[in-house]
Each structure stands twice: as structure tokens, then as C-alpha cells.
Structure 1
């Protein structure tokens, strides 16, 4: 009986230590790999105020999964939510617009949310 309690304590410590380490590793990887995300913006060839946006995930390791829902802010007071990483937006006037895309990445039990920004010049 006197060996059961110390053995239980050691096993409990190892279980908690291993679980916490995995969560920390997942969180660090998620934040670091978010660097591989970007916004692509293409001005339409027939309408200079129409912009085709795409949220790009260049994570080639495949460790992370990107939520399909991306929340966009087009910098002109308009917002949208896309479910396929692509969205089109038509601006009403010409200037530079700070476009932001809010995303969530998952790796294992960890997730991280972030925001990417790109300035789009509409003429």
C-alpha cells in the first residue's frame, strides 16, 4: 500500500506533463505557421473597381487546418464572410483600402485566430 500512492503520484505527474507539453507545442506551431497565410487581390480586367480576393494557405506540411469561414473587412465599411476562401468586392470610389481577413487555424487540440491585412489600390 505504501508504494501505491507514490506510484500514482508519479503516473499522474507524467500524464499531466505530457499533455501540457503537447498543447504548448501545438500552440507554438500554429502561431508560427500562420506566417504562411496571405491575401491575394486581383483587380478585375473589365471593371477596375471590382476586386477578386483569395485567402491563401501556403502551409505545405499539412499539419494545420484552416477554417473554411473567413471574415473579410474591405476597408470601405463593407464586410463579408466567405466559406471557400474567395470573395469578390466592388468598391464605389478610388483610393487605397486596408483589407483584412480574420481566420482560425487548428492543429491537434490547439487553435489560433489571427488577422492578415493587405492594402489594395483601386483606381
Structure 2
């Protein structure tokens, strides 16, 4: 019994230390990874109301995987889901539109979901 309590405390400490560290590392990395994500918007050269959007992941280290499905809100009441990080959208009128792409990143058993935003101007 004399050695049981110290052994239990040691095992508990090691379990908490390694388990919590992994969770904390995943969360911190996920937050840092979101900095490397962006939306590229190119206005079509023929139809100026058509915009070619691309969700870009500049993670060169490959720490995370990005879900193939990106949910897009084009700021005009229309939405779409892309499966290859690219989507085209035609606006019906001029103005500034706040585009939001919702993504999910995975690392091991951890994941995070977040939005990326970009304002596009249609003349």
C-alpha cells in the first residue's frame, strides 16, 4: 500500500501531462494554421459579374488536412458547396459583397472549423 499511492500519482501525472499536451498542441496549431488560409477572388474578364473563387491553403509543411467540402456564402443570399476548393458565382447586381468560406481542418483526432472572409466589389 505504501508504494501504491506514489505509483498511482506518477501514472496519473504522466497520463495528464501527455494527453493534455497533445490536445493543447493541436488547438494551438489549428489556430496558427488558419493564418495560412485565404480566399482568392478573380473577376472574369468577359462577364464582370462572374467571380472565380478559390480557397487556398498555404500550409507547406502538411501538418493539417483540409476537408474537400468548403461551404460558401457569397454575401448575396446565395450559397454553394465546393468539393475541389474552387467555385464560380455570378452576382446579379453591383456592390460590395462579403464572401464567407467555412472550412474544416483535421490533425489526428482533432479538428477545427472556421470561417474565412473576403469582400468582393462588383462594378
CA distance in 1, matches of 2:107, 2:27: 8
Q: Which runs of 5+ in 1 are unaligned?
A: none
Q: What CA RMSD, in Å, does the superposition of the two structures yield over aligned residues?
A: 1.2
Which shifted more, 34-43 or 110-119?
110-119
Offset from partner CA, 1:10-66 (integer Å, 9 cap, x none): 112211221111110110011012101000011111111111100000011110111
Residue 109 of structure 1: how far off its partner (Å): 2.5
Number of corresponding residues:
123
TM-score, with length taken from structure 2:
0.93
Structure 2: runs of 5+ lacking an equivalent: none
Q: TM-score, normalised by structure 1?
A: 0.93
Question: For the residues of structure 1 that align with 2:95 and 2:89, how far apart are their CA atoms?
Answer: 14
| 1-structure distance, mates of 2:20, 2:57 | 27
Write out the 4+ residue segments of structure 1 that deviate beyond 3 Å after TM superposition.
none
